[in-house]
Structure 1
Amino acid sequence: MTAPTLVSVLVPAYNEEANVERAYAAIVAVFDALPDHDCEIIFTDNHSTDRTFPLLRAIAERDPRVRVIRFARNYGYQRSLLIAYQSARGDCSVQIDCDLQDPPDRIPEMLALWRQGHQVVYGVRRSLADGPLTAASRRWFYRMVNALSEDDLPHDAGEFRLVDARLLTELRAVRDTSPYLRGLISSMGFSQIGFEYDRAARVAGESKFPFSKMVGLAMDGVLNHSLIPLRVASGVGIAVGVATMLGIVGYLAGRVIFGQNWPAGFATTTLLLLLGIMLNALFLGIIGEYLGRIFMQSKARPTPIIEAQLNGAGPLSLESQASTALREVR
């Protein structure tokens, strides 16, 4: 008899005490209807300050399929999620948010597409439960990142995705201090396919992605997958330099050859100086963002430190295991 397919379900959580039981029950219900599949449910607790971790501990005690990784502090959504991918032991993994805005009942459809030979199956948000401004901002963001990126990133694709074990192996080698997993997985290639779905509204708890974090995620998406901002800075700098040289030549020609007696032009000079200062500040800021990321990467700090693990460790690389302070709770 062939062994059942093991699916790693990755569920990031931060202050989700109102949702963890619901998420667990919904995922288990899906796999109870899939007799040829086993699942491991990996909750990553990004150092929640509410009752999330005690609730996860209680779930893990009654169900050995549930694994919980609690971090020593809040390392941010993307870094904690990378640890979840690196810990997965399944033939494939499915990432789903704890608030169940992405429907677990679409997992069988994702598995069917995976069995057709696609290594990545991602959800494309046909509709969003956000307000019109937020929804429009999200759609604009995906198109902007794709336009600026050198990789082919899908439009309107969120975090709801299935990833084959082949890519999980590659993700275990990633040592990125500011990962952008949507783009990273998309850039790996292989056969990738999307399916449309309607994203539901959050039923309980509060969103952990205010506008400021959405802006930060947008910056990660652009800066991690594109050198175009640097090239734009260089191009504008060259254009401004050429225009300045032409202006100087024109001024000298008018003054020396044609005998023009123009006024001193204090206002024009002031405006040009302010324009130059503004452009310098803007492009130095862009360069600074890239240099800052290089600096953080070069420090080679440990991967997110794991404070506690429930129901066993995953297949993190030896390097990752050596760089984390593990306390086996069970």
Structure 2
Amino acid sequence: MKTLAFVLPIYNEEGNIPLLYERLVGVAAALEGRFTCEFIFVNDGSRDRSLSLLRGLRAADERVSVYSLARNKGHQIAVTAGLDVADADAVIVMDSDLQDPPEVSHALIEAWEDGADVAYAKRRTREDGYFKKLTAGMFYWVLSKMARIDIPRDTGDFRLMDRRVVEELRRYPERNRFLRGMVAEIGFDQRAVEFDRDARHSGETGYPLSKMIKLAADGIIGFSSFPLRLISAIGMVLAVGAGLWTVYLAVSRLAFPDSVVEGWTFITAGMFLLGGIQMLMLGVLGQYIGRIYEEVQARPLYAFAVAEHGPLPR
């Protein structure tokens, strides 16, 4: 039989874990005889009872593996840790708040068995608020215009990946990770599976606005040099404009030497405008330089405080 691993990042999900496990077991039961399933839970420094619940599942079911990061490192690192330890013919990554229905795994597996190396879940509908839908739409529109590769819209990290793709993904060491973009860049045969995204079952989202902005920045900066090219274009326009303005002032001074130069308010406003643009440009440059600094440090992405896996002791 082929092996199938489910990678599930956990951050303060004590209200979701029991039902999530129950539905995963149902999916595994439907696959019995065709696949040997493993459930890899990666606890990302949860502050509630998530870890104790996971260890309880582990004690009762040897298919459950529990890894706990030494501290909170973020969703993308938690998923990366799960992919690093997964040893299966195919790996399914899904969130643990039940917005990603485990039952969609059957459609992902069907696409994989049909020859796809990556089957990604594409949201047909989503039970999110207006603000979340609006900002998500804006992000994917901007990303589609800026990114140097085609990153599918209305997708998250919910996907099935063949072992070959997972092995390739392990070769990507960057710290500011945008996994859906990294998988898209790897290539292979990638197919969409549409699904209806549910509302969060319990608890609060692990992606507040600040983390969403950080993830959006990782996606845009990690897969596009457009902001740097934009800085050059703005600088060129301003330089040409300043040159023309200087010529105009020189000609005006020669033609009308006794004229009084007015418009100090305009000049002051222009100085503040140029100063703001320069600070914005420096900020964009600082984002790229800061990421270069983090990468050259080459520190480990994570450390495990708990690692419980393999057959249970008898």
Question: Is the shorter-chain TM-score for this pair beyond 0.5, marking a shared fold?
Answer: yes
Q: How many angstroms does 1:292 deviate by?
A: 0.6
Distance 1:17 1:94 in 2: 21
The sequence identity of aligned pairs, in percent, is 35
Please say if residues 27 and 104 of structure 1, whose CA atoms lie closer than 8 Å, have aligned partners that are also in contact: yes
Residue 300 of structure 1 is matched in structure 2 by 298
Match of 1:27 among 10, 24, 28: 24
- Give the match for residue 267 of structure 1: 265
CA-based RMSD of the aligned residues comes to 1.7
Confirm or deny that 1:140 pairs with 2:122.
no
Report if the CA contact (8 A) 2:127-2:197 is conserved.
yes
1:65 maps to what in 2? 63
Residue 170 of structure 1 corresponds to which residue in structure 2?
Answer: 168
Does structure 1 residue 154 correspond to structure 2 residue 173?
no
- Give the conservation status (yes or no) of the 8 Å contact 1:153–1:186: yes
Aligned match of 1:242 in 237, 240, 243? Answer: 240
Question: Is 1:254–1:260's contact at 8 Å kept on the other side of the alignment?
Answer: no
Question: How far has the Cα of 1:218 moved from its partner?
Answer: 0.7
Q: Cα gap change, 1:64/1:260 in structure 2, threshold over 3 Å: closer, same or farther?
A: farther
Q: Given the two structures, how large is their TM-score scaled by the length of structure 1?
A: 0.91
| SS of corresponding position for 1:291 | helix
Residues 171-230 of structure 1: CA deviation (Å, up to 9, x unaligned): 222221111101111111111111211111112121111111111111111111100011
The amino acid that maps onto 2:19 is R
SS at match of 1:151: coil
Residues 281-312 of structure 1: CA distance to partner in whole angstroms, max 9, x if unpaired? 10100000111111111111122011010114
2:3 aligned residue = 6
Q: Note the C-alpha offset of 1:258.
A: 5.5
Ranges in structure 2 where 5+ consecutive residues have no aligned partner = none
After the TM superposition, which segments of 4 or more aligned residues of structure 1 sit over 3 Å from their partners?
257-260
* 2:286 equivalent to 1:288: yes
Matches of 1:186 and 1:28, distance apart in 2: 30
Question: Offset of 1:264 from its aligned partner?
Answer: 3.5
Q: Which amino acid is 1:30 matched to?
A: V
User: Within 5 Å, which residues of 2 pair with 1:172-211?
Assistant: 172-211=170-209
Checking the alignment, whether the CA contact within 8 Å between 1:8 and 1:92 is kept in structure 2 is yes
Count of matched residue positions in the alignment of Structure 1 and Structure 2: 312
Pick which of 203-212 and 291-300 moved more.
Answer: 203-212
TM-score (norm 2): 0.96
Which residue is 2:12 aligned to? 15
Shift of 1:265: 2.4
Counterpart CA distance in 2 for 1:227 and 1:260 is 49
Q: 2:102 is matched with which residue?
A: 104
For residues 258 and 96 of structure 2, the distance between their equivalents in structure 1, rounded to whole angstroms, comes to 72
Find the partner of 1:55 among 50, 53, 56: 53
